[in-house]
Each structure stands twice: as structure tokens, then as C-alpha cells.
């Protein structure tokens, strides 16, 4: 069956939506860029033949991830840092890579990266950077690629055997889920496993730092009114904000940098000991090892902040996490801030659905 050259009603509707969002994007309207990205993705899926969608999903995207993985190993993106806007040959780029990699391999990698839009092809066997390839030379992006390709991709591959063992029943515990099945660590939580595998934990923490880049930050004025609800009325002799399970400190540092010396109290980053050791915090912020299942040691803070914590646990565990904070709070003064996903019954974004597809968390 050939692809239908006549646009469907859904495609026509998407085209109208894209035209409207394009004008909003040109005029700097809030949300227009994100809406345009989603509409364009939907249009590509709608106008593509099923075989085109199949080839993109099953061939192009897996090959892209594998190519990115190899690119990290041979430091391809670092080798491209000095490439001019006009581009450089695959041979010249290969000479700057690690591991004495064969230039033929580099050329093949670059061709697929160009086809996927990660690098720019400027001429025959000539390649230049894009904003994405330039960013991929940074450590946090390198760690993200390694975490997904090496550490988490095996979880996807073991999904089938996990659900076959459970007679295709949904997981009901964060201690017996696909991750535990893959790594043979039933009875240990995802984050407990990192304690025995610190490099995996380091990559994960670094990935969470890159996750926040280019996205609206929670302390932005149109996201959460920090000045009005937290700074106003805050007492200077008390801690200002405790980031509970805050990884290596991307939220703490973002808040500190956004408000400079305007914050009335100190900032506290809490996470597992091996994670907070990775934190690089500026003046006014401190790192503190803490298990959020135990009573919160920082008393009377203006806010206790949990970013992407609730999504990882079931209701029973989340109740214990929140209960552990309550004794530390000052009535009428302290706040608990939860920054997390709420998955709608209809129209869930892929960022939301990918977390919960096989999670033990009930939604």
C-alpha cells in the first residue's frame, strides 16, 4: 500500500495548529515553542506511512543511540569542538578522536548523526556542529548517554522476561520492578543499588543536571512566585530551603544563581552520601547526606522542596517521606513544595508517560 498523498482531516487540523503556533513562536508567546514541537511531531506521525514510522522507530532511533554511545567512547563530540562553521572532513575529525578509531567508522557515524540532525552536513564528507552536538561534548550530556545506553537500556531489554515471570501483572513494589529483575537486586530500591555501583549513581545524578537545562525552572517568576510566597516573610536566622533528594544540586544552584544575594537564609542540599559528594555548591549552600525516609534534621526551614521524588514511590512510601518532614516544620511558616508530574487521563506528554509505563507507582 503506497502512502496516501492526500492529507487527512487530522493532518489538516495539525497544519492549521502549526500555522497558529508558528505566529505565536515568532511573537515570543509563552508555550508556543513547546506546542509547536508537539504539533510537528504529531504531524510527522500522521502523514508518515506505517512502514516509515516503523523504520524510524525500529531502525533509525536505535542506531542513533548506538552511534551516540560510540561517539562518547571515542570522544567524537570533543573532537568536533574546533570544527569551523563550514565543517571539516571525517578524516580530520577522526584524527582528533580517542582510541585510534578508524576514520571509516567515524565517517559512518557522522553520516547517521547528520541524518538524525545531531550534526550538520555542509558538503561531501564534511560535517559541522549543531547546538546539540556542541552540548553533547559536555560531561553531563556524555553521562546521560552512557547512563541510558549502558545502564538503563538493559532494563528495557529485560521487560519481557520480567512480565512473563509475573504473569503480566503490574509491579506493586519499588523493590521488585524491571530494574531489580535486570540487575538481580530484588529487595533493594533503585537508589540503594547506586550505593554499590557508584559510577551508575554518578551518571544518573549528572544526567538529572542536564535534564533541567533548557526547561522552565521552578523558581521562574511565571512558574512559582518565590519572591511573594517564600522570600516575603522569611526569617533571616533560619534555613531558607531544603532540597530533599536533590541529587548533585542543579536546583539548589539554579535558585542561588537566580536570586544572588537576595535569599534571606541558607540553602541545604540533601541526598545519599555518594551523591552529595558530587555537588559543587556556591556560597550560602551546603550539602548534607540524608535518608529522606528518616526524620528531617533541618528544623524550621521556610521550604522543603521535593523535585521528581514522589513519582518514584508508591503511596505508602510517599506518606512516610512526607511524614518525616512534618516534625521539622514550623506551623504557619514552613512549606512543602512538590515539583512533579501529574499524568492526565488523556493527552499525556511522552515525558510523563515514559516514567510511568511500567512503574510500580499507581496513576
Tell me, yes or no, whether 328 and 231 share the same domain.
yes
Q: What local confidence, expressed as pLDDT, does residue 2 receive?
A: 63
Average pLDDT over residues 195-219: 87
Has residue 191 got a pLDDT over 90? Answer: no
Tell me, yes or no, whether 306 and 235 share the same domain.
yes
Q: What local confidence, expressed as pLDDT, does residue 356 receive?
A: 53
Most trustworthy range by pLDDT among 1-15, 123-137, 245-259: 123-137
Average pLDDT over residues 329-337: 98
Q: What local confidence, expressed as pLDDT, does residue 359 receive?
A: 53
Structural domain contains residue 46: no
Tell me, yes or no, whether 300 and 266 share the same domain.
yes
Q: Check which CATH number belongs to the domain holding 264 and give it.
A: 3.40.50.150
Q: What local confidence, expressed as pLDDT, does residue 1 receive?
A: 56
Structural domain contains residue 127: no
Tell me, yes or no, whether 241 and 317 share the same domain.
yes
Tell me, yes or no, whether 300 and 333 share the same domain.
yes
Q: How many domains are there within the chain?
A: 2
Structural domain contains residue 315: yes
Q: Which residue has the higher pLDDT, 211 or 354?
A: 211
Tell me, yes or no, whether 243 and 298 share the same domain.
yes
Structural domain contains residue 282: yes
Handedness of CA 304, 306, 312, 315 (dihedral sign): positive
Has residue 360 got a pLDDT over 60? Answer: no
Structural domain contains residue 177: yes
Q: What local confidence, expressed as pLDDT, does residue 352 receive?
A: 76
Q: What local confidence, expressed as pLDDT, does residue 355 receive?
A: 59
Average pLDDT over residues 339-345: 86
- Chain Cα centroid distance, residue 358: 17
Structural domain contains residue 86: no
Tell me, yes or no, whether 261 and 328 share the same domain.
yes
Q: Which of 58-62, 207-211, 300-304 has the lowest mean pLDDT?
A: 207-211
Q: What local confidence, expressed as pLDDT, does residue 215 receive?
A: 77
Tell me, yes or no, whether 231 and 310 share the same domain.
yes
Reference 270, options 234, 235, 295; nearest CA is 295
Average pLDDT over residues 105-124: 98
Structural domain contains residue 89: no
Tell me, yes or no, whether 292 and 188 share the same domain.
no
Range of the domain at 260: 226-339
Q: What local confidence, expressed as pLDDT, does residue 173 receive?
A: 82
Tell me, yes or no, whether 318 and 234 share the same domain.
yes
Has residue 345 got a pLDDT over 80? Answer: yes
Q: What local confidence, expressed as pLDDT, does residue 361 receive?
A: 45
pTM of this structure: 0.87
Q: Mean pLDDT over all residues of the chain?
A: 92
Residue 363: pLDDT band by 50, 70, 90 thresholds?
A: very low
What percent of the chain lies above the pLDDT cut of 90? Answer: 76
Amino acid at each position: 500500500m503506497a502512502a496516501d498523498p492526500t492529507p487527512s482531516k487530522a493532518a489538516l487540523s495539525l497544519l492549521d495548529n502549526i500555522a497558529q503556533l508558528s505566529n505565536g513562536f515568532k511573537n515570543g508567546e509563552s508555550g508556543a515553542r513547546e506546542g509547536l514541537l508537539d504539533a510537528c511531531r504529531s504531524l510527522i506521525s500522521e502523514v508518515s506511512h506505517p512502514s516509515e514510522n516503523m523504520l524510524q522507530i525500529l531502525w533509525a532511533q536505535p542506531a542513533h543511540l548506538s552511534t551516540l554511545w560510540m561517539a562518547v567512547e571515542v570522544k567524537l563530540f570533543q573532537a568536533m569542538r574546533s570544527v569551523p562553521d563550514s565543517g571539516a572532513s571525517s578524516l580530520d575529525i577522526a584524527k582528533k578522536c580517542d582510541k585510534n578509531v578508524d576514520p571509516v567508522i567515524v565517517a559512518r557515524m557522522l553520516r547517521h548523526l547528520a541524518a538524525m540532525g545531531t550534526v550538520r552536513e555542509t558538503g561531501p564528507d564534511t560535517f559541522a556542529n549543531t547546538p546539540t552536538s556542541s552540548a553533547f561534548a559536555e560531561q553531563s550530556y556524555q553521562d546521560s548517554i552512557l547512563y541510558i545506553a549502558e545502564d538503563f537500556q538493559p532494563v528495557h531489554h529485560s521487560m519481557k522476561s520480567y512480565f512473563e515471570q509475573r504473569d503480566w501483572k503490574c509491579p506493586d513494589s519499588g523493590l521488585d520492578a524491571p530494574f531489580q529483575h535486570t540487575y538481580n537486586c530484588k529487595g533493594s530500591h533503585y537508589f540503594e543499588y547506586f550505593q554499590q555501583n557508584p559510577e551508575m549513581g554518578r551518571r544518573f545524578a549528572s544526567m538529572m543536571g542536564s535534564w533541567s537545562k533548557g526547561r522552565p525552572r521552578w523558581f521562574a517568576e511565571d512558574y512559582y512566585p518565590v519572591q511573594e510566597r517564600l522570600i516575603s516573610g522569611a526569617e533571616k536566622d533560619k534555613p531558607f530551603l531544603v532540597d530533599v533528594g536533590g541529587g548533585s544540586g542543579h536546583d539548589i544552584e539554579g535558585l542561588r544563581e537566580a536570586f544572588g544575594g537576595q535569599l534571606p537564609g541558607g540553602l541545604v542540599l540533601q541526598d545519599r552520601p555518594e551523591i552529595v559528594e558530587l555537588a559543587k555548591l556556591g556560597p550560602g549552600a551546603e550539602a548534607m547526606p540524608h535518608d529522606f525516609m528518616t526524620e528531617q534534621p533541618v528544623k524550621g526551614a521556610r521550604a522543603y522542596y521535593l523535585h521528581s521524588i514522589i513519582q518514584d514511590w508508591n503511596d505508602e512510601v510517599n506518606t512516610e517521606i512526607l511524614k518525616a518532614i512534618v516534625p521539622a516544620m514550623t506551623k504557619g511558616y514552613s512549606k512543602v513544595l512538590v515539583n512533579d508530574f501529574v499524568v492526565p487521563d488523556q493527552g499525556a506528554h511522552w515525558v510523563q508517560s515514559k516514567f510511568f509505563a511500567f512503574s510500580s507507582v499507581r496513576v
